[in-house]
Amino acid sequence: MKKKDKYQRYSEEALELLPSPVSEIQVQKKNATRFSLFVKNQFLIGVSEATLTQLNLRKGTLITRDILAQIETAEERWAAREYFFRILSRRDHSRKELKDKAFKKGYSGNYIEEILDEFEEKEYINDRKFALKYTADKFEFNDWGPYKIRTQLFKKGVSKQIVEECIQRSFAADDIKESMVALIRKKKKRYQREPIEKRKKKIFDFLLRKGYDSDHIFKHIEELLAIIDQ
């Protein structure tokens, strides 16, 4: 018998019976939203309700190998769509994040783009809303600066136009200064233990890693150094 493919859902034994009409459709015992298709009373494949409806599968429907291939593709599409819903229930994602996760999971058909188009149309995903929330959260809870947030959003596939718009909306000059001041106050005791001649570089490197650009750091460095001596 031929080795079964990792993603193969059909029965090899029933495959040899095709073409053949569907002899029976049963609701699966462990999942009432899925159905088992039989040909000549031999289990062929399990399908979702969506696939059953989409391909108009019913008792007596003639199943050929081409139809079986369509069923498998429809099932892969359904599984990918359900996978997207599961990960979106945990947190928002950019379009590129979802696409990358789908490929890592083994979903690679053209249906991925179709599903993502549908999700955008229904606003299940929205890169602008995602980027605004990501920017606000990383600034408020992680003390990230604009540069680091910008870099991470680019990696997540958010367009430059949307990223710059979100940065402009989320960061004012006073916000950046106040955030740097708050960070240095938190680390004050740590920097007090450093030799005076090394403090400036230590502060600069720390804030740079946090995502604040060098212009903002240099502009306020003397004030930040003064905080340590207070």
Per-residue pLDDT tens over the stretch 207-221: 999 999 999 999 999
Distance CA 63, CA 101 (A): 33
If asked whether residues 65 and 151 sit together in one domain, one would say no
- Average per-residue pLDDT in the chain? 92
DSSP state of 10: S
Closest CA to 7 of 113, 109, 118, 119: 109
If asked whether residues 134 and 82 sit together in one domain, one would say no
116-121 average pLDDT score: 97
If asked whether residues 109 and 182 sit together in one domain, one would say no
- Given a contact cutoff of 8 angstroms between Cβ atoms, the answer to whether 118 and 156 are in contact is no
- What residue spans of 29-145 are helical by DSSP H? 49-54, 65-90, 95-105, 111-121, 127-142
pLDDT for 110 equals: 86
pTM across the whole model: 0.82
pLDDT for 12 equals: 87
If asked whether residues 19 and 114 sit together in one domain, one would say yes
Q: Would 2 be classed as within a structural domain?
A: no
Ordered strands of the 31-39 beta sheet: 42-48, 31-39, 20-28, 62-63
| Alpha-carbon distances of 16 from 5, 11, 13, 143, rounded to whole Å | 16, 9, 6, 62
Distance CA 45, CA 147 (A): 51
If asked whether residues 69 and 149 sit together in one domain, one would say no
Burial bucket for residue 107 (CB in 10 Å: 0-12, 13-18, 19+): buried
If asked whether residues 177 and 163 sit together in one domain, one would say no
Domain span at residue 26?
12-121
